[in-house]
């Protein structure tokens, strides 16, 4: 069995969602979300900077998740549609 440490998670093939939006002053910015980690979003002025730097924030996010014992959904176990019956009482 493989030890699922920070390095293991950093090297997974995460499902990236890239987009563009406007900040409060109407200036465009680019963001990267990770489908498997709904709380994750990284923003930058250009998509190139976002792609180059999101892994630094991903490392911090994964470190906190590992330290708190939170379940990390891996790309191959993510379902397209949640099982709402098991989530809602």
Does 31 reside within a domain?
yes
Domain assignment present for residue 61? The answer is yes
Overall domain count for the chain: 1
* Beta-carbon contacts of residue 5 (< 8 Å; ≥ 6 apart): 66
**Residue 82 is assigned to a structural domain of this protein:** no
Q: How many CA atoms lie within 13 A of 51 on its CB side?
A: 7
Report if residue 84 sits inside a domain: no
Give pLDDT, residue 80. Answer: 59
Strands in 5-85 per DSSP E = 16-22, 28-34, 37-44
What is the spatial distance between Cα 48 and Cα 64, in angstroms, rounded to a whole number?
26
Segments forming the whole domain that contains residue 57: 6-70
* In-domain check, residue 26: yes
Provide the residue-wise pLDDT of the chain in tens; the chain has 89 residues.
567 999 999 999 999 999 999 999 999 999 999 999 999 999 999 999 999 999 999 999 999 999 999 999 999 885 656 666 666 76
Residue 39 domain-assigned (yes or no): yes
Residue found by looking up tokens 């490392």 in the block: 59
Predicted local distance difference test score (pLDDT) of residue 78: 58
Secondary structure tally for the chain: helices H, strands E: 3, 3
């Amino acid at each position: 069995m493989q030890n699922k440490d920070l390095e293991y998670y950093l090297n997974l093939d995460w499902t990236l969602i890239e987009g563009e939006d406007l900040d409060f002053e109407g200036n465009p910015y680019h963001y990267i979300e990770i489908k498997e980690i709904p709380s994750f979003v990284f923003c930058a002025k250009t998509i190139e900077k976002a792609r180059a730097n999101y892994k630094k924030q991903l490392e911090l996010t994964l470190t906190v998740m590992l330290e708190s014992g939170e379940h990390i959904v891996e790309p191959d176990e993510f379902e397209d549609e949640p099982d709402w019956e098991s989530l809602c009482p």
